[in-house]
Amino acid sequence: MDTVSKQVVIAGAGHAAGQLVATLRQKKYTGNIVLIGEEPWLPYQRPPLSKKYLAGELEAERLYVKPASFYEDPAIDARLNVRVESIDRAARLVRTSDGNTIPYTDLVIATGSRVRRLTVPGSDLDGIHYLRDIEDVDAIRRGLATAKRLVIVGAGYIGLEVAAVAARLGHEVTVVEMADRVMSRVVSPELSAFYEALHRDEGVVLELDTGLEAFAGESGRVTGVTTTAGETIPADLVVVGVGILPNVELAADAGLPVDNGIVVDERCATEDPHVYAVGDCTAHLSRIYGGRLRLESVQNALEQAKVVATNLCGGELVYDQVPWFWSDQYDIKLQIVGLSQGYDQTVQRGNPADRSFSCVYLREGRMIAIDAVNAPRDFMQAKALIAAGARPDPERLADPDTPLKTLAS
Ligand code: FAD
């Protein structure tokens, strides 16, 4: 076992970890940085996976958070294809799948999340894909090279982004969704209706209110998707996008509190002052929304990483931001600020027919979220209003020519 005076170990080498290393170097962290990732890749960005990378418009190297040369820095020890198996908090070390024991002065858990897998009959047939990493997309792309009929299970962001890419590539696409509208977990019925029309116009078949009974197959390969309506939709390829589960086991096994995510304070520290957690695997306290949040977004991963890196370099940053997110489908960019759950009023700005409009969500008069569709100005200006708990006049809010920033009362 090596002995070191100061060493941060990062468990997981995804988007948050990549930002963490970058900020640690930028802030001149004086110790060693050991980055341990089970994937064969240096930290990379996942959003393009279901967008430009799936469409074949981006090389894998372009996904990297930092170019490979960045990791040649002698202060950085990047160990790929290696899994952190356990944490010994008393001894301040981690054990890895290649049989090593690595000491830390501080540990950052950045293990992200994994896809939720289906267990209905036929789930292990070939030709059924999930989408989380580069290999997943490479396999889908190989499948699409010969497949004509694609069935997507789940009409969330990922399912719909895949539908958009595949439809534009000329595939016959059907999306099967249990809820009665698309993206029902995150957007208003009006927004769902807009996206349903958009996809149908592009030739995508949406089977809403439809559960999944089983996958049909022949010779070990999927041939269809059997729905709760008793219908079997023929499929040459299936992509499942039904949500994720945070990778909390490493923390839980080390006795750290987990509550739908690794519990962290406003400095992204766990209950152990030498163990931090960042990104998809965390549940943090939100002053703005008054509860514990587990977010699945790049912004959350990047900002939490910056907070931890800054604090490890002697700073005093706290994390409490208005969340934001985006989704690209066809030529439509959806940008979401805030969390709309619990809204009691929506106000539409602009006309969906123009393919540029926003939907503002209010709770007891307070602005809590906005969905901006090809409306970047509303997206930019909404953040400050939501953070300030603004109570805009609904009538003026409904006028798309009134800039949001003028409604900050
Ligand atoms: P990850 O990037 O998942 O990285 C975690 C890494 O840790 C993984 O490589 C994992 O293999 C590794 N790991 C796990 N356990 C261990 C272990 N024990 N030892 C070693 N390594 C381990 N967000 C947006 O904001 N906008 C978007 O448009 C968007 N689109 C997306 C599209 C797709 C297809 C996907 C999959 C995600 C998308 N997201 C989007 C979400 C965003 O990518 C995630 O929120 C972000 O990647 C979280 O970063 P992270 O570092 O916490 O986790």
Question: CB–CB of 220/125 below 8 Å?
Answer: yes
In whole angstroms, what is the distance from residue 284 CA to residue 260 CA? 10
State both tokens at 394. 């609904």
Direct distance between the N- and C-terminal alpha carbons of the chain, in angstroms, rounded to an integer: 59
State both tokens at 249. 């086991």
Q: Is the CB of 36 under 6 A from ligand 1?
A: yes
What's residue 289's pLDDT?
A: 85
Q: Is the CB of 37 under 6 A from ligand 1?
A: yes
Per residue in 20-29, pLDDT (tens digit) is 999 999 999 9
Torsion region of 183: left, alpha or beta (phi above 0 gives left; psi -120 to 50 gives alpha): left
Give the position of tokens 């080390």: 254
CA 113–ligand 1 middle distance (angstroms): 6
What's residue 290's pLDDT?
A: 85
Tell me, letter by letter, the H, E, C secondary structure of the chain.
CCCCCCEEEEECCCHHHHHHHHHHHHCCCCCEEEEEECCCCCCECCHHHHCCCCCCCCCHHHHECCCHHHHHCCCEEEEECCCEEEEECCCCEEEECCCCEEECCEEEECCCEEECCCCCCCCCCECEEECCCHHHHHHHHHHHCCCCEEEEECCCHHHHHHHHHHHHCCCEEEEECCCCCCCCCCCCHHHHHHHHHHHHHCCCEEECCCCEEEEEEECCEEEEEEECCCCEEECCEEEECCCEEECCHHHHHCCCCECCCEEECCCCECCCCCEEECHHHEEEEECCCCEEECCCCHHHHHHHHHHHHHHHCCCCCCCCCCCEEEEEECCEEEEEEECCCCCCEEEEECCHHHCCEEEEEEECCEEEEEEEECCHHHHHHHHHHHHCCCCCCHHHHCCCCCCHHHHCC
CA 304–ligand 1 middle distance (angstroms): 13
CA 60–ligand 1 middle distance (angstroms): 15
Give the position of tokens 């289906």: 118
What's residue 291's pLDDT?
A: 87
In whole angstroms, what is the distance from residue 368 CA to residue 350 CA? 19
- Nearest ligand 1 atom to the CA of 43 is 9
In whole angstroms, what is the distance from residue 306 CA to residue 32 CA? 17
Taking CA atoms, 399 is separated from 104, 378, 391, 406, in Å, by 55, 12, 15, 12
CA 12–ligand 1 middle distance (angstroms): 9
CA 44–ligand 1 middle distance (angstroms): 9
Name the residue with the closest Cα to ligand 1, atom 49: 15
Tell me the best of 50, 96, 111, 136 to mutate to test the pocket of ligand 1, counting ligand atoms within 8 Å of each CB and taking the most. Answer: 111
Question: CB–CB of 330/374 below 8 Å?
Answer: no
CA 131–ligand 1 middle distance (angstroms): 11
Question: CB–CB of 17/112 below 8 Å?
Answer: no
CA 382–ligand 1 middle distance (angstroms): 26
Taking CA atoms, 259 is separated from 17, 256, 294, 367, in Å, by 22, 10, 9, 27
- 261 contacts: CB under 8 Å, gap ≥ 6: 246, 248, 281, 282, 283, 284, 292, 294
- Nearest ligand 1 atom to the CA of 14 is 4
Percent of the chain with pLDDT over 70: 99
Q: Is the CB of 247 under 6 A from ligand 1?
A: yes
Name the residue with the closest Cα to ligand 1, atom 33: 47
**Closest C-alpha among 237, 242, 277, 241 to residue 257:** 277
What's residue 274's pLDDT?
A: 98
pLDDT tens string, the chain, 409 residues long: the values are 444 589 999 999 999 999 999 999 999 999 999 999 999 999 999 999 999 999 999 999 999 999 999 999 999 999 999 999 999 999 999 999 999 999 999 999 999 999 999 999 999 999 999 999 999 999 999 999 999 999 999 999 999 999 999 999 999 999 999 999 999 999 999 999 999 999 999 999 999 999 999 999 999 999 999 999 999 999 999 999 999 999 999 999 999 999 999 999 999 999 999 999 999 999 999 888 888 999 999 999 999 999 999 999 999 999 989 999 999 999 999 999 999 999 999 999 999 999 999 999 999 999 999 999 999 999 999 999 999 999 999 999 999 999 999 998 6
State both tokens at 3. 């002995």
Name the residue with the closest Cα to ligand 1, atom 3: 112
Q: Residues 171, 225, 181, 383: is their CA dihedral positive or negative?
A: negative
Q: Is the CB of 280 under 6 A from ligand 1?
A: yes
Instruction: Report phi then psi at 171, rounded to 5.
Output: -85, 160
**93 CB-contact burial (10 Å; exposed 0-12 / middle 13-18 / buried 19+):** middle
What's residue 4's pLDDT?
A: 55
CA 294–ligand 1 middle distance (angstroms): 13
Q: Is the CB of 297 under 6 A from ligand 1?
A: yes
Give the position of tokens 């086991």: 249
